[in-house]
Structure 1
Amino acid sequence: MNRPFDSIQDTDLDAYVDDQLDVPRRIEVEAYLSAHPVVAARVMSDLRARDELRLALAQPEGTARPATSDAARRLERGLARGRLWSNLRRGAAVFLLVAAGWAAHGMFGSQGGLHGVALAAPPPYVKDAIEAQKASIVRAAMVSQPEVPEFDPVEIRAATAIVLPVLPDSWKVKDVQVFPSQFGASVEMAVESKDDGELSLFAVRPGTFEVVSPTVVTTTDATSVYFQVGEVAYALVAKPGTEHLDRIAAGLASSLY
């Protein structure tokens, strides 16, 4: 049986960063982080500093490596400040992660209409989101497959470890289903927006911990925008040509902090 979340201490988090935990304890720490995004952002910052340090130290000897000392200083500061600075450090980490993503998002928006448009292949879960939306449309047309608009976000989180964002008041939920995906259980919500028509919100745990700002993907089947907050990734899918989807996604993402 898993120990309660309040048993997770700073020493456990430091040991997690240092790869010093056994598998059962790592699972407990990861469950704790999935429920505490601010702490998770701080741990993610420490993990990045650790990996940068390892990468820099792996360079050939004799090579000037300013990144080594920079990463070492960041990691030392991250692990040695102690409890006095922990709250400030955690708040700063989540602020910097979100601000950096949104700053890049805004920068693309000011250059040649590249506002939040993916320049590389989208993550695989975007395809799952589009397929889930298609299945939702098929199901909605079947009399024998009634829609299920009622849902309990707490129950969904307990069953799938997926946190759902706060939906806009103007949205009407038409159907909520748990779908299989290549990453395990996912959640697909069919909603109706007064301004944007039929939308689909897809959420899944892709197996990575990242903070990804809303990024638009346009295909012949749909316009979609994906983003990720911690261990849960999201994709908002609409009919081709739908505008301002990235702004809607940004609002959903902000509700998760």
Structure 2
Amino acid sequence: MTKPIDPIVDADLDAYVDDQLDVGRRIEVEAYLSNHPDRAARIMSDLRTRDELRLALAGAPRMTRHATNDAARRLERGLTQRRFLGRMRRVAALGLFVAAGWFANAYLGPLTVTEVIASAPQPAYVEDAVMAHITTQLRAAMSSQPEVPEYDPEEIRASTAIVMPQLPADWLVTDVQVFPSKFGPSVEMAIRTNDFEVLSLFAVRPGSFDVVPATSVHKADVTAAYWQIGDVAYALVTNKANTHELDRAAIALADTLY
């Protein structure tokens, strides 16, 4: 028989004596013992003592001398000590590993994969708001598409169930249109202001009830600040990238809806 790849160690011999090896490993141990007579003699003695010990513990009639019983006790202590030392080595190794982990955690930071903090995806209606803003600018450049600056907030509310915020006194409405969107009718309002020049206010019912504070995003070369109050969502869209001023304007408009 060829020499086993996994070498035979004392733990294998102890497990052989304790009947804790599978058939394949027992064959490898027996092949090893056949080439090492001195180890085989010790194992045979241990096996005999083991069997005598089992008989003694089971209360069977004594079939051996007292010396054999003493040897059995010594063997039991020896085997127990070897197993105990083996367990202690494993426990010590585990303790060192845990201690190293605590040290690294305390001085080098947590040894874990940190959670990636990703920004929340923008609502789908922001896409419609940007498209409405671009379309409104396109209409403003066409002489055949007259602007409609007059609008009735109550009529819009009655027809679309959309409540429009109250605009600052210095904002000039140049066009108001009802546009289709993924969520149904929407309101697109073109406004001229001193701070933003061209500004669009978009409003739609997105089909969900929520409260979302004003949040700025950059999309398609424009800047939008969107928010939601209840079942109506809003978005301010401008060509300028002044997000700070746009956020302030969005917050001010949202306050008029409470």
If the TM-score is normalised by the length of the shorter chain, which range does it land in?
0.5 to 0.7
What CA distance in whole angstroms lies between the structure 1 residues aligned with 2:136 and 2:220?
18
Q: What letter matches 2:249 in structure 1?
A: I
Which letter does structure 2 place at the counterpart of 1:200?
A: S
Identity of aligned residues (%): 59
TM-score by length of 2: 0.53
Q: Is the 8 A contact 1:220 1:240 kept in 2?
A: no
Counterpart contact for 1:129–1:202, Cα < 8 Å:
yes
The CA distance in 1 between the partners of 2:220 and 2:207, in whole Å, is: 28
> Where do 5+ consecutive residues of structure 1 fail to align?
1-117
User: Secondary structure in 1 aligned to 2:177?
Assistant: strand
Match of 1:166, as an amino acid? Q
1-side partners of 2:125 and 2:253: how far apart? 18
Pick 1 or 2: higher relative contact order, CA cutoff 8 A, min separation 6: 1
Q: Which amino acid aligns with 1:239?
A: N
Q: CA deviation at 1:185?
A: 0.1
Q: CA deviation at 1:152?
A: 0.1
Root-mean-square deviation (CA, aligned residues, Å) is 1.2
Q: Deviations over 1:203-223 (max 9, x none)?
A: 000001111110011124210
Taking the TM superposition and a 5 Å limit, the aligned residue runs for 1:93-242 are 119-242=119-242
Q: Which amino acid aligns with 2:251?
A: A
Q: Does the residue aligned with 1:211 lie in a helix, a strand or coil?
A: strand
Post-superposition CA distance 1:165-220 (Å, at most 9, x none): 00011100000000000000000000001122110000000001111110011124
Q: What SS does structure 2 have at the residue aligned with 1:184?
A: coil
8 Å CA contact retained: 1:177, 1:187? yes
Give the aligned length. Answer: 140
Q: Hey, which bits of structure 1, 4+ residues long, moved more than 2 A? A: none
Paired residues of 2:214 and 2:226 also in contact (CA < 8 A): yes
TM-score when scaled to structure 1?
0.53
What one-letter code is carried by the residue in structure 1 that aligns with 2:252? G
Q: Which runs of 5 or more residues in structure 2 are unaligned?
A: 1-117
Shift of 1:242: 2.4
Aligned to 1:254: 255
